[in-house]
Amino acid sequence: MAGIKALISLSFGGAIGLMFLTLGCALPEYNKYWPLFVLFFYILSPIPYCISSRTVDDTDAASSACKELAIFLTTGIVVSAFALPLIFARATVIQWGACALVLTGNVIIFATILGFILVFGTNDEFSWQQW
């Protein structure tokens, strides 16, 4: 039952984050859809960690190069997701209010992705690997 509650709360967080992203694009005073390119970063961010967690055995190793490379790549993707709306706002492609809404959505979405990995990333009965 704990897995279902976690899944419902994580889906609620994802919906709230996507709502902020949509508001940053679709409100009449902003009306630019350039920030939707952040969706690519949402899709790409968990991929390096998922690949490294399948290839690395965590038996006795405190750290491995594969896992550290995955964390480095994930960090680069997350920083890029925060930098893109800032660059758009600085170049006056979008307004600063839209940038703030997109950055708020980024915080919520990436917290949701991190929560998903922490809750369902272990090798127990609620593992995402069985999906």
* Average pLDDT of the segment spanning 66-77: 92
Contact 21, 42 (CB under 8 A): no
Structure tokens belonging to residue 68: 């550290």
Could you state, in order of their start, the residue ranges of all structural domains in the chain?
1-108
> Cα angle at 64 between 58 and 70, to 5 degrees?
100
pTM of the complete model beyond 0.75: yes
Write out pLDDT tens, residues 43-60.
999 999 888 877 766 555
